Amino acid sequence: MTGAVGFIATNIFGTYIAYAPIDRYFDAGLAYASFPGWSFVPDSAGAAQLVMADLEPGPQPTSALMSWAFAFHAAAGEFATDPRIRGDAIAAIGHSRYGKSALIASGWSDRIAGAVAHQSGFGGGSSSRSKTGETLVRMAREYPHWLRPGLAEDLENGLDLTLDQHFLLALSAPKPIFLGNGRRDVWSDPNSSFILAQAADQVYEAAGAEGLVDGAGMRDFDPSADISYWLRVGGHSVVSEDIDAFTAFMQAHFGDDSPSETGLQSAQ
């Protein structure tokens, strides 16, 4: 981004909100590919539903979040045939709405080996029952195409949520997942994200994975943990410290001495 818009966006949402530091990923031994999610399914109510209705073959999604997760899956299938890429080490990475889809892709797709979900918030790694920040009902009202049809109305009419987002996290077990958060990003509710990471830990342990490190707190970042919780100062953004955390996580779980590269799929 350039000009006044770029200056404002960078100062509010961080240096890497609009573009990825590809050289830093390459220097870490990672391959990197990105696609604009909106070019696959528009991020717009009405237009999104029309496109989703024509997706064939595929899972016939009714939510844009699932559609973007399917895009991760489809892209991973293409890159898995490249001899330079480890097909068993392709992770989905996304920020905010695409962080939600990265988690869905990890839990649903057998082509995705893990997820880097940064500030995924409601519909992602944060509790749907939480009243802090954006809340699920507000998100469902403002972005109805992200979620299943009619969810906002059902929530406003008292729908009792019998499941919470730790079920989504648990679907990835034993795949490694990174849950990125900012201390001032109250909108995404980092506190409930940590609580759900603790809840999903039981499933990871049952699957023979480490999950969260025993006794770890919100500030105890361990990139080698299978549920790796990252909390930094600041708000809803992608900054240099985040990139360091992303690469540390990927190297801890997928790095080796082979000449093949680990894949990092990003929706932007």
Predicted confidence pLDDT, tens digits, the chain (268 residues): 454 334 334 544 456 666 789 999 999 999 999 999 999 999 999 999 999 988 877 778 899 999 999 999 999 999 999 999 999 999 999 999 999 999 999 999 999 999 999 999 999 999 999 999 999 999 999 999 999 999 999 999 999 999 999 999 999 999 999 999 999 999 999 999 999 999 999 999 999 999 999 888 999 999 999 999 999 999 999 999 999 999 999 999 998 753 345 555 555 5
The CATH number of the domain holding residue 62 is: 3.40.50.1820
In a domain, residue 11? The reply is no
73 annotated active-site: no
In a domain, residue 8? The reply is no
In a domain, residue 12? The reply is no
In a domain, residue 222? The reply is yes
What is the domain extent for residue 120? 19-267
User: Distance (Å, rounded) from C-alpha 102 to C-alpha 10?
Assistant: 23
Structure-token match 């509710």, residue found: 189
pTM (predicted TM-score):
0.90
96 annotated active-site: yes
**Residue 179 neighbours by CB under 8 Å, 6+ apart:** 117, 120, 125, 169, 193, 194, 197, 227, 228, 229, 230
CA nearest to 64, candidates 82, 81, 84, 43: 43
Domain count, the chain: 1
In a domain, residue 109? The reply is yes
Name the catalytic one among 67, 96, 192, 193: 96
In a domain, residue 7? The reply is no
CA nearest to 239, candidates 95, 101, 141, 137: 95
Name the catalytic one among 95, 166, 236, 253: 236
User: Distance (Å, rounded) from C-alpha 179 to C-alpha 238?
Assistant: 13
In a domain, residue 129? The reply is yes
In a domain, residue 133? The reply is yes
